[in-house]
Amino acid sequence: MLSDEELIRYSRQILLPRFDVAGQAKLREASILVVGAGGLGCPVALYLGAAGAGSLTLVDDDTVELANLQRQIGFDQLQLGEPKAAALAERVRQINPLVSVEAITERLDGDLLHQKVAAASLVVDCSDNFATRFALNRASVKAGVPLVSGAAIRGEGQLAVFDPRDNESPCYHCLYPEQGNEDLSCSQAGVIAPLVGMIGSAQAMEAIKMVSGVGTPLVGRLLVLDAWDMQWRDMKLARDPECPVCGLQ
């Protein structure tokens, strides 16, 4: 049962016939792991926290820098030098004290990575490097936990959902081979500020759909955005039967 405070706080979502109290209750029960507390992680964490996700774990080993403030809307001038995960977690608590928020201010890898992924209902990949994305994908497939993946650079973004519980769903490795991909950072290539908000907000929406069971998630599809021309491309993704990560599952 939702409390009176929850019924008021989440009333605009509960009014939605497809979502209703049942969808809100499922969202409250969810434990969501958000890896990356930067341009994508900020809107993901803020929207999921405000919407009533029961438990959020925010992971980032970086600190807030002046150049981050152009697009990372979870931070302000007073938080320069603070750990991103801790600063963002506190901002979520200020918006919604009903949400349980854990901040991990170190790099998530090895056994700890697998433990945190296995304990989550859903993983949202807001990282900015291929090594982390591939590691998260492997842990997601191993644990059978869905993964919402997003990326944004320059004026281009992409979004996909990978669900290892679905025998037809590809994994991240089916889309990108582990060899031959070089990281290109925003500090090198640049990024327009609203783009990360658009992709991060879409990731939060996909996360809500996945944990509530409402709507049609982007499983087996890839959305690619050209923000300068405001064009979305929707591409179907097939599972690679020879994929070394999910092909043997």
Secondary structure (DSSP) of 182-214:
----HHHH-B-HHHHHHHHHHHHHHHHHHHHT-
- Helix 193-212 and helix 41-51: axis angle, to 10°? 40
DSSP 60: -
Q: Which residue reads 């492997």 in tokens?
A: 138
**pLDDT tens, residue by residue, 168-195:** 999 999 998 877 566 666 767 889 999 9
d(CA 209, CA 231): 23
Task: Count CA within 13 A, CB hemisphere, residue 172.
Answer: 29
Secondary structure (DSSP) of 61-129:
--B--GGGGGT-TT--GGGTTSBHHHHHHHHHHHH-TTSEEEEE-S---HHHHHHHHHH-SEEEE--SS
How many whole angstroms from its chain centre is CA 171? 15
Q: How far is CA 6 from CA 9, 51, 90, 101, in A?
A: 5, 10, 20, 17
Q: Give which of 108, 89, 84 is closest to 100, Cα–Cα.
A: 89
d(CA 170, CA 105): 30
d(CA 170, CA 200): 21
Q: Which domains does the chain have, with CATH numbers?
A: 4-236 (3.40.50.720)
**pLDDT tens, residue by residue, 103-159:** 999 999 999 999 999 999 999 999 999 999 999 999 999 999 999 999 999 999 999
Contact 220, 240 (CB under 8 A): no
pTM value is 0.96
248 pLDDT band (50/70/90 cuts)? low
Q: Give which of 198, 204, 203 is closest to 231, Cα–Cα.
A: 198
Q: Which residue reads 């650079």 in tokens?
A: 153
Residues forming a β-bridge with 83: 63
**pLDDT tens, residue by residue, 34-92:** 999 999 999 999 999 999 999 999 999 999 999 999 999 999 999 999 999 999 999 99
CB contact set of 21 (below 8 Å; sequence gap of 6+): 2, 14
